[in-house]
Amino acid sequence: MGLRPNLLTRRTAGVASTTLALLLSTAAVGVVPAASAFSAAPGEVCVEPADVHSDARMKPGGGAKHEPNELTLAETREREADLAAALRERARFRAGAGATTMAATVTIPVVVHVIQENSTRTGGNIPDSMINSQISVLNQSFSGATGGASTAFSFQLQTINRVTNPSWYPIVQGSSAERSMKNSLRTGGKNTLNIYLGELSDSLLGWATFPTRKLNSMDGVVVLSESLPGGTATNYNQGDTGTHEVGHWLNLYHTFQGGCSGSGDSVSDTAAEASPAYQCPTGRDTCTAPGTDPITNFMDYTYDSCMYQFTAGQASRMLTAWNAYRAA
């Protein structure tokens, strides 16, 4: 597939024109009103899940105690069955309400929580400019401006919430501290993207929860703060960890989910891939099925400089999941 042309130029331009990107995002059809961005939908309540499956992105050689990186075959079958059930449930609801159309364009309100150990940069106190640049990267990536398929989604930053709490720093995936953090900070309904930034445990770059039919307090995305554009995470500091994790939040699996067999990542236009790809491999082809490995896809593990696309199938899957799980 080749590497995207002029990526660094595009990303630099995106950083410099954040205000324009945010203004453009508000012009999309289907903007969520600000008044509803911070309140759950009628009848929608936060519940404590017995088990919340999450997905992660990690550096080469990294490892997490709870291995949030890939679902088992049984877990993916459970998720696919739940998606089908949720779609049927939504269809019955819309029929009863006399509404037959589903959202085709969505602007997602974003709340960013910056978790700090102290007021220094090394203690997690990153500047607002990095966060604004991350929102710009999300809008470029999901619009297809970097070279991939255009999706239905754009992102509008609502607020930046800074919290100094050494007991939450670093953020440890699957810990009681993570649960306490999210119980205390998460805001909005199922349509609101909560992003938690800070230093992370176990060499992880980030993780995210998949959508569920009932809102729970763990819902959201956790991202290494120095992976934002202009950060210090070498090879992973152009904002694509954020894009990757939001993809999971919108119900995408890794491109290497399921390896070479079965339904893989449940998207027909991403070639099968036996295992994660790291760095920027050329001509990697780990499965006998047609197509080389999708190393330029946002849902692989390659360097940010190699990632530039979602496929049309992934765009369709995300919109289907939005209408099933997160639409008002």
As given in the structure block, the two tokens for residue 258 are 């399921």
Q: What is the pLDDT of residue 6?
A: 40
Query: 117, 178, 226, 245: which one is catalytic?
Result: 245
Q: Quote the pLDDT of residue 90.
A: 81
Residue 4's nearest CA partner among 324, 295, 279 is 295
Domains and CATH numbers, the chain: 105-252+319-327 (3.40.390.10), 255-309 (no CATH)
Mean pLDDT, to the nearest integer, of 287-305?
Answer: 96
Residue 296 has pLDDT above 90, yes or no: yes
Assign 73 a pLDDT band (cuts: 50, 70, 90).
confident
For residue 71, the model assigns a pLDDT of 86
Six token digits for residue 6: 């002029």
State both tokens at 293.
């490995």
Q: Which amino acid is at 234?
A: T
CA atoms within 13 A on the CB side of 175: 16
Is the model more confident about 23 or about 115?
Answer: 115
How far apart are the C-alpha atoms of 121 and 187, rounded to whole Å? 25
Amino acid identity at 317 = R
Indicate the DSSP class of residue 79.
H
Contact 292, 156 (CB under 8 A): no
DSSP count for the chain of H helices, then E strands: 8, 6
pLDDT at 158 over 50: yes
Q: Name the residue among 319, 250, 324 with its Cα closest to residue 89.
A: 324
Query: How high is the pLDDT of residue 207?
Result: 96
Annotation marks residue 245 as catalytic = yes
Contact 148, 308 (CB under 8 A): yes
- The kind and range of the H/E element at 141 are helix 128-143
Express each pLDDT in 19-69 by its tens digit. Answer: 223 222 333 323 222 222 222 333 343 333 333 445 566 666 555 444 454
CA 137/CA 21 separation, integer angstroms: 9
Amino acid, single-letter form, for residue 177: A
> How is 232-276 classified by DSSP, letter by letter?
SSTTS-SSHHHHHHHHHHTTPPPTTTTTTSTTTTS-TTS---SS-
Mean pLDDT score, 83-91: 87
Average model confidence (pLDDT) across the chain:
82
Q: What one-letter code names the amino acid at 327?
A: A
How high is the pLDDT of residue 26?
Answer: 30
What tokens appear for 222 in the block? 């956790």
Q: What is the pLDDT of residue 92?
A: 81
**What's the sign of the alpha-carbon dihedral 130, 131, 134, 140?**
negative
Type of residue numbered 315: A
* pLDDT computed for residue 58 by the predictor: 61
Mean pLDDT, range 151-159, rounded to an integer: 98
